[in-house]
Amino acid sequence: MRIALVTAELDACGAELVVRRLALGLRNRGHRVFIYCLQHATLPVDALRAAGVVVREARSIGRDPLLAVKLLRWLRADRVELVHAHANVALTYAWPGAALLRLPVV
């Protein structure tokens, strides 16, 4: 399964560490995993990329009306089958694209 994990940032804090561990666990189980950071990744992502996880950074600042469009393009290009939003802001921006593509969101 192709799974997108959407998070505001990817750093060394609680929720972001969960995203990292989840991505590696899903990849180890044979899934194709994509991490979409709405802002940026301050956590080194080399180990994730080496494990086969695709990390994309939108580098968005503040309220970005085009961020939902960028996520829609990523979801379509990566042929994602499931979207996992890890915060309210991630859900807010990922929901429109996922809905248009008729993708389940958790």
Query: Structure pTM?
Result: 0.90
Q: Which pLDDT band holds residue 42 (cuts at 50, 70, 90)?
A: confident
CB 5 within 8 A of CB 19: yes
Outline where 1-106 has alpha helix (H): 14-28, 46-50, 67-77, 88-100
CB 2 within 8 A of CB 29: no
Is the predicted pLDDT of residue 93 greater than 70, yes or no?
yes
- And the tokens for 15? 């929720």
CA dihedral for 45, 46, 47, 49, sign (positive or negative)? positive
Residue 24 three-state SS: helix
Q: What is the pLDDT of residue 12?
A: 63
**More confident of the two residues 15 and 95:** 95
